[in-house]
A and B are shown apart, each in its own frame.
Chain A
Amino acid sequence: MHIPDSFMPLSQAIVYWVIALPFIIMSMKWAKNDLDEMKVPVLAALAAGIFAIQAMNIPIGMGTSGHMVGATLVAIVFGSPWAGVLVLTLVLLVQGFAFGDGGITTMGANILNMGIISGFVGYYTYVALRKSTGTSIAAFGGAWLGLFISSIVCAVQMWIAGTFPLVPGLIAMGTYHLIIGFVGEGLITAVVITAIAKSRPDLLEDNFTVRPEKSKKEAHA
Chain B
Amino acid sequence: MSGNSNMKFLYAGIAIALLLSVLAPFLASSDPDGLESAAGGVVEESKMSEIEEMEPAVSSPMPDYAIEGMGKSGEVLAIAVGTIAVLAISFGFGKVFNKKA
Contacts and interface: CB of A to CB of B under 8 A. Distances in A.
Contact of A2 (B20, B25, B35): B35
A39 B21 contact: no
Given A37-B101, A42-B10, A90 B90 contact: yes
Contacts of B46: none
Nearest to A28: B97
Given A35-B94, A37-B98, A104-B57, A49 B33 contact: no
* Most chain A beta-carbon contacts within 10 A, residue among B13, B24, B59: B13
Q: Contact size class for B?
A: 35 or more
Contacts of B71: none
Contact of A168 (B6, B25, B41, B86): B41
B42 A40 contact: no
Interface string B83-101: 1111101110111011111
A1 B20 contact: no
Q: Specify the main secondary structure of chain A where it touches its partner.
A: helix
Nearest to B10: A41
A13 B51 CA distance: 15
Nearest to A177: B34
A182 interface: no
Nearest to B80: A52
Interface string A84-96: 0001001101111
Q: Contact size class for A?
A: 35 or more
A41 B98 CA distance: 12
A98 B85 contact: yes
A84 to B, nearest CB: 13
Interface string B1-40: 1110111011011101110110111011111111101110
A155 interface: yes
Contacts of A98: 60-62, 81-82, 85
Interface of A: 1-7, 28, 31-32, 35-53, 55-59, 62-67, 87, 90-91, 93-101, 103-105, 151, 154-155, 158, 163-165, 168-169, 172-173, 176-177, 180, 200, 203, 214, 217-218, 221
* Complex A-B, nearest 10 residue pairs according to Cβ-Cβ distance, in ascending order: A45-B13, A40-B94, A41-B10, A6-B54, A65-B29, A176-B34, A172-B38, A52-B20, A100-B60, A59-B29
Given A38-B3, A48-B86, A101-B65, 19 more contacts: A2-B33, A6-B54, A7-B35, A40-B91, A41-B7, A41-B13, A41-B91, A45-B17, A49-B16, A51-B86, A55-B79, A64-B33, A98-B62, A99-B82, A155-B38, A173-B35, A176-B38, A180-B34, A221-B2
